[in-house]
Amino acid sequence: MIEAYLAGLQLSDVPELDAAMHYALAGGKRIRARLCMAAARAGGADPQLALPAAGAIELVQAFSLVHDDLPALDDDSIRRGRPTSHVAYGEAVAILSGDGLLNAAFRLVAGCDLPAPTRLAVVGELSDGIAGMIDGQYLDVAAAAPGDMAGLRDLHRLKTGALISASVACGLHVAGLTGEALAPYRAFAAELGLLFQIVDDLLDEGDDGAASYVSAVGAERARALAGESRTRALELLAAAPGDTVELAGLTELIAGRSG
Amino acid sequence: MIEAYLAGLQLSDVPELDAAMHYALAGGKRIRARLCMAAARAGGADPQLALPAAGAIELVQAFSLVHDDLPALDDDSIRRGRPTSHVAYGEAVAILSGDGLLNAAFRLVAGCDLPAPTRLAVVGELSDGIAGMIDGQYLDVAAAAPGDMAGLRDLHRLKTGALISASVACGLHVAGLTGEALAPYRAFAAELGLLFQIVDDLLDEGDDGAASYVSAVGAERARALAGESRTRALELLAAAPGDTVELAGLTELIAGRSG
């Protein structure tokens, strides 16, 4: 459902740039979109209503990957099994594609059919999440984060957790939840972001020397931390109201993913 | 007023990134912010109400300059009389600063005190303008735009005109104008964007071989085109209702600027 929705989006009036943006958008596992739609269900809404918000989150995720992969940042040449955007299209187009994807996320939400207060809440939630994500990427790049566990947790709360948390919150906004009603889900989402990053680090074992749980505490301890994080996330989710079966399933998927 | 407002914005929770973003934001002539506030006055509002929208437009303008100046794009080393962001902070931080400035624009508007429909209209208007700006920059970089006058007009309508037009429209949104009431001002703003770009090209004479009015038709003819464009812009403005004295003054400022 989300794939068809994303494929159908017009991202630029210039066909060549639109193609480059869709290239960057293709091929993800859409975990954030699925979290958003599952959160909408947990909040009591039809998950399909969350499609624009879920789509926007995938646009943001694609933006962050395109820019993080650039030579000046992580300098990655393969992403999602294909050449990264700057390898396929050149650096200039990759920079502009990323900018365009970030902007398209806000444009999509601002122009969708959701009630005005919901659209505004989603724009606010997204922009908060993106700010955290960029802060985290800055700390990673500038190597300003301390290498100890507290520092890693801060860094990853920002870099990965911010958008994971925003994915869940946006789905709940679509269901009309605001303020304190979001609190138990936010606690769950923060833990889920941590879990996601520890598993990521385990999958990337042997990768370059970026700050990671594996390089900080070793693979065995990192696996134990992931198990504890999974348990805490499921406990926090159990304390939240609503139909959280899908969110629990996605938590297990994240804990058990192998690539 | 706008300078104090911009200087007071917290743009990132990470002080070093906040400083890099403020570095990129400093030193502009704030023509877009002044257009936004003058348009709010023309629409009958207190111009101070337009400060968040005007500030957001300057954040967008700073984002676009930081990314356009990058080595992969225009590769400029001096901007507003100082080293460009990537020279001062390195490419990685410049890319992240630009991303952060773009996001901060939406975050500022989403979180400000304006009525919800106004905030949403400004977010939509900004994202439309930014999409046009990025399309134009893509055409410029990809050299996909034809070098004739019609092609140049298309390119500049996108690259410069889109944000100039959005500046005016955002001010009118702040004043509560919507739909057809915006039309005469949109016609004026489109012409103003064209005027701005022709004058820019005349000031950049002798610059590298990017598509420009001067390289296409020569300096003398470009000066004549600027004069015609100024006249048309003032005529279009005279046909719009409201107190347009400040907008007329800014039009003269743009037509006559020398740097």
**Confidence at residue B198, expressed as pLDDT on a 0 to 100 scale:** 86
**Which pLDDT does position B160 carry in this prediction?**
79
A134/B102 touch (CB, cutoff 8 Å), yes or no:
no
Please choose, from the candidates A38, A30, A33, the residue with its C-alpha nearest in 3D space to the C-alpha of residue A245: A38
For the record, the structure tokens of B7 come out as 């200087």
CB contact under 8 A, A127 and B98: no
pLDDT computed for residue A217 by the predictor: 82
Q: How far apart are CA B136 and CA B130, in angstroms?
A: 10
How would you label A180-204 residue by residue, b for 16+ Cβ within 10 Å and e otherwise? eebebbbbbbbbbbbbbbbbbbbee
B90 Rama sector, left if φ>0, alpha if ψ -120 to 50, beta otherwise:
left
Q: Is A138 on the interface with B (CB under 8 A)?
A: yes
The pLDDT score that the predictor gives to residue A125 is: 96
Select from B92, B99, B135 the Cβ nearest to the Cβ of A17. B135
Contacts of A104 in chain B (CB under 8 A): 127, 131
The model's confidence at residue B28, banded by pLDDT at 50, 70 and 90, is: confident
Q: Taking a C-beta distance cutoff of 8 angstroms, is the pair A122, B139 a contact? A: no
Q: Measured between CB atoms, which of A73, A100, A110 is closest to B124?
A: A110
Q: Out of A73, A128, A135, whose CB is closest to B95?
A: A73
- Which one is predicted more confidently, B256 or B153? B256
Q: Classify residue A14 by its DSSP letter.
A: S
Tokens of A178: 């605001």
Is the dihedral angle over the CA atoms A176, A182, A184, A189 positive or is it negative? positive
Candidates A188, A163, A178, A182; CA nearest to A246 is A188
Instruction: Name the DSSP class of A82.
Output: E
**Euclidean distance between CA atoms A84 and A80, whole angstroms:** 8
pLDDT over threshold 60, residue B63: yes
Q: Name the DSSP letter for residue A231.
A: H
User: How confident is the model over A205-238, as pLDDT tens digits?
Assistant: 655 445 677 777 888 998 999 999 999 999 999 9
Structural domains counted in chain B: 1
End-to-end CA distance of chain A, in Å? 22
* Nearest Cα to Cα of residue A40 among A52, A29, A48: A48
Confidence of residue B70 (pLDDT cuts 50, 70, 90): very high
Instruction: Give the separation between CA A146 and CA A139, rounded to whole angstroms.
Output: 9
Determine the average pLDDT of the residues in B39-62.
97
* Whether pLDDT at A131 is above 70: yes
More confident residue, B256 or A56: A56
Measured CA to CA, the distance from residue A212 to residue A210 in angstroms comes to 6
Give pLDDT, residue A40.
98
Q: Which of A29-38, A127-136, B134-143 has the lowest mean pLDDT?
A: B134-143
pLDDT at B208 over 70: no
So what's the pLDDT on residue B47?
Answer: 97
| Residues B220-239 pLDDT 10s | 898 999 999 999 999 999 99
B11 and B21 in contact (C-beta within 8 Å)? yes
| Per-residue H/E/C for chain B | CHHHHHHCCCCCCCHHHHHHHHHHHCCCCCHHHHHHHHHHHHCCCCHHHHHHHHHHHHHHHHHHHHHHCCCCCCCCCEECCEECHHHHHCHHHHHHHHHHHHHHHHHHHHCCCCCHHHHHHHHHHHHHHHHHHHHHHHHHHHCCCCCCHHHHHHHHHHHHHHHHHHHHHHHHHHCCCCHHHHHHHHHHHHHHHHHHHHHHHHHCCCCCCCCCHHHHHCHHHHHHHHHHHHHHHHHHHHCCCCCCHHHHHHHHHHHHCCC
pLDDT for the residue numbered B88: 97
Best probe of the A interface among B95, B122, B178, by most A CBs < 10 A, is B95
- Interface residue B61 vs chain A (CB under 8 A): no
User: Per residue in B71-104, pLDDT tens?
Assistant: 999 999 999 889 999 999 999 999 999 999 999 9
* Burial (CB count within 10 angstroms: exposed 0-12, middle 13-18, buried 19+), residue B66: buried
Structure-block tokens of residue A225: 């931390």
To the nearest whole percent, how much of chain A has pLDDT over 70?
91
Q: Which of B17, B112, B114 to mutate to test the interface with A (most CBs of A within 10 A)?
A: B17
C-alpha closest to that of A68 among A84, A57, A56, A90: A84
Which pTM does this prediction carry?
0.93
Using 50, 70 and 90 to split pLDDT, how confident is the model at B46? very high
> Is residue B142 within 8 angstroms of chain A, CB to CB?
yes
Name the token pair of B71: 């080595």
pLDDT at residue B250 greater than cutoff 60: yes
Cα separation, B253 vs B230, whole angstroms: 10
Say how far apart CA B14 and CA B10 lie, in whole Å. 10
Does A127 contact chain B (CB < 8 Å)? yes
> Which pLDDT score, from 0 to 100, does residue A80 have?
84
The token pair at A56 is 């926007």
pLDDT at A153: 64
ipTM of the complex: 0.93
How many beta carbons lie within 10 A of that of residue B225, not counting itself? 18
Please name the residues in contact with A44: beta carbons below 8 A apart, sequence gap of 6 or more: A175, A176, A242, A243
> Which of the four pLDDT bands, split at 50, 70 and 90, describes residue A152?
low
pLDDT at B202: 87
The reported pLDDT for the residue numbered B133 is 93
Tell whether the model's pLDDT for residue B146 goes beyond 70: no
Q: How far is CA B246 from CA B40, B144, B250, in A?
A: 10, 37, 6
Is the minimum CB–CB distance between A15 and chain B shorter than 8 Å? no
Compute the distance between CA of residue A255 and CA of residue A258 in angstroms, rounded to an integer: 9
Q: Between A158 and B70, name the one with better pLDDT.
A: B70
A116, closest residue in chain B (CA to CA): B117
List, as one string, the DSSP characters of A118-184.
HHHHHHHHHHHHHHHHHHHHHHHHHT-S-SSHHHHHHHHIIIIIHHHHHHHHHHHHHTT--GGGGHH
* Per-residue pLDDT at B139: 86
B143 contact A CB<8A:
no
Residue numbers of the domain that contains B55:
2-256
* CATH code, B139: 1.10.600.10
Nearest CA in chain B to A95: B67
| pLDDT exceeds cutoff 70 at B147 | no
- Nearest chain A residue to B89 by CA distance is A142
Instruction: Round the average pLDDT of chain B to a whole number and report it.
Output: 91
Say what the pLDDT of residue B159 is. Answer: 76
- Interface residue A134 vs chain B (CB under 8 A): yes
Q: A99 and B100 in contact by Cβ < 8 A? A: no
- Residue A257 pLDDT class (50, 70, 90 cuts): confident
For the stretch B161-185, pLDDT in tens is 789 989 999 999 999 998 899 999 9
At residue B150 the predicted structure's pLDDT band, cuts being 50, 70 and 90, is low
What residues of chain A lie within 8 A of the CB of B89, using their CB? Answer: none
Res B19 pLDDT > 90:
yes
Question: Average pLDDT in the B141-152 region?
Answer: 64
With 0-12 / 13-18 / 19 or more C-beta atoms within 10 angstroms meaning exposed / middle / buried, residue A165 is: buried
Is the predicted pLDDT of residue B186 greater than 70, yes or no? yes
What is the predicted pLDDT for the residue at A168?
A: 95
The confidence score (pLDDT) of residue A159 equals: 76
Least confident of A4-8, A147-151, B216-220, B224-228: A147-151
Cβ partners under 8 Å of residue B109, min gap 6: B52, B53, B56, B119, B122, B123, B126
Rounded to whole angstroms, the Cα distance separating B182 from B43 reads: 9
* Lowest-confidence pick of A79-93, A141-155, A192-206, A217-231: A141-155
| Residues B239/B244/B246/B250 CA torsion (nearest 10 deg) | -20
Higher pLDDT, residue A117 or B145? A117
Nearest to A99 among B16, B67, B111 (CB): B67
Please tell me which of the candidates A96, A126, A144 has its beta carbon nearest to residue B138.
A96
CA distance linking residue A185 with residue A124, whole number of Å: 17
